[in-house]
A and B are shown apart, each in its own frame.
Chain A
């Protein structure tokens, strides 16, 4: 499972980061990107899905692989 943040959509709400600080990096302006290569470590899938479901901008997507 892999997560991706669409930087055109992200407005820096940081809901993702507060739900799953291990899965996201936040820059100095508060905009988020997927941490590392975006691969979700085993056991963190549910957190990743929660981040998707709480992002008010629909900026996060999950892909398999």
Chain B
């Protein structure tokens, strides 16, 4: 079995020994796990539904739907204060210039009661009606992107399309400069992708994000604007204003959670359509099939694995867990569980009964799920209506990233 020495999108992941036994020594950054985790999960589900490893700071990995969902609801015994799936070695724990030691991204990094009010603070921005208001912008953006490459007969569907949409939509929503979208993308990848195995990059990237939003908040203190950041700054919780640090953390979350994830979903969907001609032709001929198809693509290519940290001595599914242990919320594996989904490894774009948990479940259900859905549907609608026929230009050139957020990072398409 291959170790994790494969370069992922140009970034060499540090060499780790090959995995011999996935039940006791799994590696979520292993090249095989990133490109094709499905057989690994299927084996684990049968043999050892909660696998264990000492790699990347140590963690537990459930693979059954019921277990993942149960874990998601076990708060705060399983705390959300550090939702990243890896832990850097202690000697590399560095406090960056922004001074934050762990993750400052409420409500995702908060437990009740802070979670409860901080979530109410941002939910209105992501409710269905609020999201609808960004659809026109998203459609125009997708159209402009297609205009830019349609004459070329080829495109990198990940880098030139999927990756271009979410940072601009989030910038538009927050009220910050869309022209800096590429920088936002670099920062977020620095936290969630490259930073997973490289704590220095992670801390530096997080600092850039927090410092950027500190600047934006300071600007608005002087000159309030008519945008979401200003709105958050005016909000009151129990008659008290929300602290700047909290607002900065919340903006950090919206950026980090809204970019890599949605981009990965759009990219995975394009990969599926490039490799499944029948599905692509049916959807291109009838775009009204998209909402149901998108739920299935979200299920089958679920992108996000989160982590909880054990806050008191307990056990999970018979495994004794200790304070500080990480347990991974393996939503992607839950969504492939044959006990819940018939033929889970078949992507059926007409699947009607689809209780997938791609956006999590319980009190940390992803607040931006309506926005992500809208972006996916619009991105695919625009792409399919302008470019109904496309294939992989070179299957061996496709690269995937994974660990925390899984999706294609290079996706050359020909049409």
Interface size on B, residues (CB 8 A): 23
- 1/0 contact string of A40-56 vs chain B (CB within 8 Å): 00000000001001111
B399 within 8 A of A: no
Chain A residues contacting B369 (CB-CB under 8 Å) are 13-14
Contact: A55 with B355, CB < 8 Å? yes
Chain A residues contacting B154 (CB-CB under 8 Å) are none
Tell me the complex Cα distance, A27–B129, Å: 9
B359 within 8 A of A: yes
A–B Cβ pairs within 8 angstroms, 19 of them: A12-B365, A13-B365, A14-B128, A15-B295, A18-B373, A26-B128, A28-B127, A29-B124, A29-B127, A30-B123, A30-B126, A50-B352, A50-B353, A53-B355, A54-B354, A55-B355, A56-B359, A57-B361, A57-B365
Measured between C-beta atoms, what is the minimum distance from B295 to chain A in Å?
A: 8
User: Is chain B's binding surface mostly helix, strand, loop or mixed?
Assistant: helix
Tell me the complex Cα distance, A43–B397, Å: 49
Contact: A54 with B355, CB < 8 Å? yes
Chain B residues contacting A55 (CB-CB under 8 Å) are 355
Chain A residues contacting B365 (CB-CB under 8 Å) are 11-13, 56-57
Which B residues are within 8 Å of any A CB, using their own CB? 120, 123-124, 126-129, 291, 295, 352-357, 359, 361-363, 365, 369-370, 373
Interface size on A, residues (CB 8 A): 18
Tell me the complex Cα distance, A62–B17, Å: 53
Chain A residues contacting B354 (CB-CB under 8 Å) are 54
Measured between C-beta atoms, what is the minimum distance from A51 to chain B in Å?
A: 11
Tell me the complex Cα distance, A27–B352, Å: 25
Least CB separation from B130: chain A residue = A28
Tell me the complex Cα distance, A26–B369, Å: 14
Measured between C-beta atoms, what is the minimum distance from A38 to chain B in Å?
A: 19
Chain A residues contacting B362 (CB-CB under 8 Å) are 11, 57
Contact: B355 with A27, CB < 8 Å? no
Chain A residues contacting B120 (CB-CB under 8 Å) are 29
Least CB separation from A9: chain B residue = B362
Measured between C-beta atoms, what is the minimum distance from A15 to chain B in Å?
A: 8
